[in-house]
Amino acid sequence: MNESRTTWLKCLIVEEQVEFTLLELCRVSGASELQIFDWIEQGAIEPKRVSEDDGPHFDGISLRRARKARHLAEDLEINAAGIALALDLLDEIEALRTQHYPKR
């Protein structure tokens, strides 16, 4: 008997130029403010700019890194320094893949 199974994915497409406030980044990444500040301190994510009115602003790259950081923290219980290192290594792997296997 053939069964058809449908899987729905929930995703958010974000351009790198879009900016998020700290609260927005927390909401869409699932991370707490404390986690975000720990990751900033360790260099895992970097604010695009800091406003005196509403604090740090982040771009799509920071969102992607914050989501990965949250997964590393929750799933593998890696600390902020380890997360910064892991994210940098993942970026390096991606850069090498792009360099050696360019899209056709």
5-18 pLDDT tens trace: 777 656 555 566 78
Q: What is the DSSP string of 54-90?
A: TEEEE-HHHHHHHHHHHHHHHHH---HHHHHHHHHHH
Assess if residue 74 is contained within a domain: yes
Give the pTM: 0.78
Q: What is the mean pLDDT of residues 56-72?
A: 96
Q: Estimate the crossing angle of helix 80-100 against helix 33-42, to 10 degrees.
A: 60
91: domain range? Answer: 20-99
Assess if residue 5 is contained within a domain: no
For residue 13, the model assigns a pLDDT of 57
Assess if residue 13 is contained within a domain: no
Q: What is the CATH number of the domain that holds 92?
A: 1.10.1660.10
Domain count of the fold of the chain = 1
Q: Encoding tokens for residue 77?
A: 């219980």
Assess if residue 46 is contained within a domain: yes
Identity (one letter) of the amino acid at 39?
A: W
